[in-house]
Chain A
């Protein structure tokens, strides 16, 4: 095989890989109605891409339990990393949906942890695997504390 042919094959491989990435980017891994991050309307239904959490995800238990300190640290992390898209109060913005959906309130700690870890890249929700697992669990603790507070408010 000539050098030019090898170069062409290599270029083709690169283009194919980029094409696959683009197809993955547009095809999505969740349902069409599963509104996710960037571009998603504020408070758009029960989206959040939680539907993409595989059913096989084990029911992980938050090592911090319902610790108020962990939830407080989680709130700090939320304001630092999440609020720029979801808003300081978690009610969403033009970049990402509200966190007040029923699906999110009912989500297990393990499902939230999985979703934070993997994100939903096709919809703009980044993967937060860059944060250590302990900090992701702290954010989960805050989200669940927030959901519990929301449930008790709605009962009142």
Chain B
């Protein structure tokens, strides 16, 4: 996409972009300016649900792009407490299909920060209309290391002790996994009830691991006020989610599994940003005692066309 990058120099040898320090600086500058222009002019009202782990059946609007940053802070017995963070880029490809890329990292007290891998997920609605239960199929490919502490899902026999090992050991353990979820989501009056059944498999071998997540949420106010407002109940959604592991194919059940319960709240700002917060509590001795999850999301409307237009390739509107 040479025109997208505008000023990136071209190598005279093979017609490839030049990656010298000047070219790289121009490329970064061009991308930064492009991102600022696109974000500045295109905030859309994000309608993020409050959940951090549970998925409901609502997908990204087609053409829109949502960027999220979700740090979490956790206590850890037997090792240093840690902060883990996820950057998510979510795109609505069709009304019934959303794809998302995650970049994971963590920082443990006394051990420094590490990038722990990426995930690529796809969600597809199986029924095109609203029903009492709305099923969504979720397929994710992960390429992460054992140092990953994002706890985006809890499956199998995932326990707190897994995170006590030092990063220099766990980061060598690379895991390529396929994760599938059956998302079942219902609108019960103005409540949302979502249940996720999770099955995960290490592609290098090992048994299928299972997990669950359940969420219940509701907006604080049902009708909107006529006047614009930011700090009014209609912009808040609150609820609770619970998730945990269900063992694996060989040892299915609750033995040696961890479970969490978490109140959740989301604040949808008219500017297009959504802020989320969730204090999370471990329910048994295998769980982290406490996690605090935060999230900020920003939705960019009609992202692809805006990028093309800013890069000088879009159709005049």
Contact = CB atoms under 8 A, between A and B. Distances in A.
Interface of A: 7, 14, 17-18, 20-21, 24-25, 29, 37-38, 69-70, 72-77, 80-81, 84-85, 93-95, 117-127, 129-135, 138
Contacts, number: 115
Contacts of B126: 17, 20-21, 24
B94 A121 contact: yes
B225 interface: yes
A129 B57 CA distance: 10
Contacts of B96: 21, 24-25, 121-122
Interface stretch (B59-67, B80-88, B253-261, B288-296): B59-67
B130 A73 contact: no
Given A14-B180, A24-B96, A135 B124 contact: no
B121 to A, nearest CB: 13
A14 B59 contact: no
B137 A124 contact: no
A130 B64 CA distance: 16
B218 to A, nearest CB: 8
B240 to A, nearest CB: 18
Contacts of A29: 128-129
Contacts of A119: 95
Given A121-B125, A129-B187, A135-B223, A76 B317 contact: no
Interface of B: 44-45, 47, 49, 58-59, 61-64, 94-97, 124-126, 128-130, 137, 139, 180, 187, 189-190, 201, 219, 222-228, 234, 270, 301-302, 305, 315, 317
Given A130-B58, A133-B222, 7 more contacts: A25-B97, A37-B95, A73-B226, A74-B224, A76-B226, A126-B62, A129-B58
Given A93-B317, A94-B305, A94-B317, A21 B224 contact: no
B94 A69 contact: no
B190 A17 contact: no
A117 B224 CA distance: 17
A75 B226 CA distance: 8
Contact of A76 (B47, B125, B201, B228): B228
A66 B224 CA distance: 16
Nearest to A80: B45
Contact of A118 (B130, B180, B301, B315): B130
Contacts of A124: 62-63, 94-95
A20 B139 CA distance: 15
Contact of A132 (B128, B219, B315, B317): B219
Contacts of A121: 94-96, 125, 128
22 contacts: A17-B126, A20-B126, A25-B97, A37-B62, A69-B226, A73-B226, A75-B226, A76-B225, A85-B302, A94-B305, A117-B130, A118-B130, A121-B125, A122-B95, A122-B128, A124-B63, A126-B59, A127-B58, A132-B219, A133-B189, A133-B190, A138-B223
